[in-house]
Amino acid sequence: MPRTQNPDPTTREPGAPWAIPDAAKFLSVSERHLYRLLDANKVRSVRIGRRRLIPDAEVRRLAHDGC
């Protein structure tokens, strides 16, 4: 599955999980920072095969509350 070119939530399918690079870009944080939050269990994620995705609600929570 290719990564989204534009991580704008208004153009995404509602509720679709975010790839780490797309979520990091949308949240204006580095991918490394997002991985650190994931490793510290401060951000929920799901695994689909080998991919680690962040639920849409979690990305929106981080955008609202801050990372």
pLDDT in tens, 9-62: 667 788 899 999 999 999 999 999 999 999 999 999 999 999 999 999 999 999
Residue 9, pLDDT score? 66
Distance CA 18, CA 26 (A): 10
User: Would you say residue 7 has pLDDT above 80?
Assistant: no
Q: Return the number of other C-beta atoms located less than 10 Å from residue 32's C-beta.
A: 9
DSSP state of 64: H
pTM of the model: 0.79
* 32 backbone φψ class: left, alpha, beta (φ>0; ψ -120 to 50): alpha
